[in-house]
Amino acid sequence: MNQRIAIGILGCATALAGCADGADKKSDQTARPAPAQAATPGTLQSAHEAYLDGDFVAVGERVRDVLLDTRSSDLVKQNAFELLDKAYEAQKGSLPSRFVLPPGFEGVKYGVVRGMSGQTPFFRIFVYGHTRDITHLKAVSLRRLPDEVLLDSTPVTGKDSLKLKHEKVGYDTFVVERSFESLPADGVFSLRFDLDDGTSPEGWFISHAQSSSATPELRTPAPSTSTADVHPVVSWVPFRSPEFQPFEFRTLSVWVSRDGGDGVAWDIWMQNYGELGAVKVGDQPPAAKTSLVPGDYWLNVTCGEGRKFGPIAMTRESRTVAPFHVVP
């Protein structure tokens, strides 16, 4: 965004502060709003000024302050989110923050899933990441500030389990997830890791427009159909969610699992995959080559879109699942 546009937004923030001509007239106390009214717009103005100064850490911190201030109006919050998107655009989808992951941790992601199975929608959120030694990680918790607990794997008191996978050489992969009736609202989120040394590193990030309003439309195989092809072609209408922004990264995940079985029969993962709309199961580089055996399967196509806030990747995941059958 050029400086002329930024200055225009800054002028909007100043107007929200109640200044008739955009200037802070210290000598004219009657022209200034009461402190309780001015506090939030003043913070918003500071966020815009930080943007013009190129201080993107401060942009995030001031937007956080606006969102957590109970006096913030919907108009002020909307302007803060718009500024945050402009900052992401300027930084190519990745904003810095002061949060540092605990030693040995990497690839931490917060995901929001809108899914469709037949005519039934479903919603999930998850926290995913890698750590060198999972024995040091005792619990993971996620809150929407100030006090909405979304995920908590704390032993005894938590509602969620800490699942372990092995998806990266030299690391343990952890996942904490939960299904919801509806997806969490935008806001400031806090992520905490409880470690075996008694410390609990905690960081925050801002989730905005992370819930998709659409899911991929499958072309083949049609739900519940049968095929004798041990390498069936999975195809879908090339997909971007209505919420997608050009500065966001994109990912594609297609996997097939055996009905009633454990694990994945075949899967492929790609980043920035363009307009790809089809893969051949078991015969699609760079995924491992294999052949499906006769049986009942579930197909999962997930199109992800995301951005990064400090060390936390945030993904908006649009998912469609469908059953199909491989026959002799």
pLDDT value of residue 263: 78
Report yes or no on 213 lying in a domain.
Answer: no
Asked if 322 and 223 sit in the same domain, the reply is yes
Instruction: Kindly report, residue by residue over 243-266, the tens digit of the pLDDT.
Output: 999 999 999 999 999 987 777 899
Asked if 195 and 250 sit in the same domain, the reply is no
Report yes or no on 68 lying in a domain.
Answer: yes
Asked if 225 and 295 sit in the same domain, the reply is yes
Pick from 207, 242, 276: which residue ends a domain?
207
Residue written as token pair 């519940």: 224
Residue 22 predicted with pLDDT over 90: no
CA-nearest of 158, 102, 152 to 131 is 102
pLDDT value of residue 41: 64
Mean pLDDT of 197-204: 97
**Average predicted confidence (pLDDT) for the chain:** 88
Asked if 234 and 322 sit in the same domain, the reply is yes
Report yes or no on 96 lying in a domain.
Answer: no
CA-nearest of 38, 36, 37, 41 to 9 is 41
| Size of the chain, expressed as the number of residues it contains | 328
Model confidence band, residue 155 (pLDDT cutoffs 50, 70, 90): very high
Asked if 129 and 176 sit in the same domain, the reply is yes
pLDDT value of residue 167: 83
Asked if 181 and 239 sit in the same domain, the reply is no
In this structure, what token pair is assigned to residue 162? 């800490």
Asked if 129 and 171 sit in the same domain, the reply is yes
Q: In percent, how much of the chain has pLDDT > 70?
A: 87
- Angstrom distances, CA of residue 252 to CA of 234, 303, 306, 311: 13, 5, 12, 21
H helices present in 181-284, as ranges: none
**Cis ω for the linkage preceding 221 (within 30 of 0):** yes
Asked if 191 and 276 sit in the same domain, the reply is no
Residue 30 predicted with pLDDT over 80: no
Model confidence band, residue 38 (pLDDT cutoffs 50, 70, 90): very low
pLDDT value of residue 145: 97
Residue 105 predicted with pLDDT over 50: yes
Residue 28 predicted with pLDDT over 90: no
Domain that holds residue 254: 218-326
Report yes or no on 115 lying in a domain.
Answer: no
Asked if 223 and 321 sit in the same domain, the reply is yes
Report yes or no on 76 lying in a domain.
Answer: yes
Contact between residue 137 and residue 97 where contact means Cβ atoms under 8 Å apart: no
Distance separating alpha carbons of residues 94 and 92, to the nearest angstrom: 6
Contact between residue 284 and residue 253 where contact means Cβ atoms under 8 Å apart: no
Number of domains in the chain: 3
Q: Which residues contact 173 (CB under 8 A, 6 or more apart)?
A: 128, 129, 130, 164, 165, 166, 167
Residue written as token pair 């971007």: 240
pLDDT value of residue 260: 78
Asked if 18 and 63 sit in the same domain, the reply is yes
pLDDT value of residue 40: 56
Residue written as token pair 């590193």: 201
Residue 125 predicted with pLDDT over 90: yes
Task: Report the CATH number at residue 232.
Answer: 2.60.40
Asked if 139 and 225 sit in the same domain, the reply is no
Pick from 207, 234, 263: which residue ends a domain?
207
Report yes or no on 308 lying in a domain.
Answer: yes
Report yes or no on 83 lying in a domain.
Answer: yes
Report yes or no on 98 lying in a domain.
Answer: no
Distance separating alpha carbons of residues 137 and 16, to the nearest angstrom: 45
pLDDT value of residue 126: 98
Residue written as token pair 């922004």: 245
Q: What is the pTM of this model?
A: 0.84
Asked if 203 and 224 sit in the same domain, the reply is no
Residue 7 predicted with pLDDT over 60: no
Instruction: Kindly report, residue by residue over 269-315, the tens digit of the pLDDT.
Output: 999 899 999 999 999 999 989 999 999 999 999 999 999 999 999 99
Mean pLDDT of 55-79: 95
Distance separating alpha carbons of residues 36 and 45, to the nearest angstrom: 15
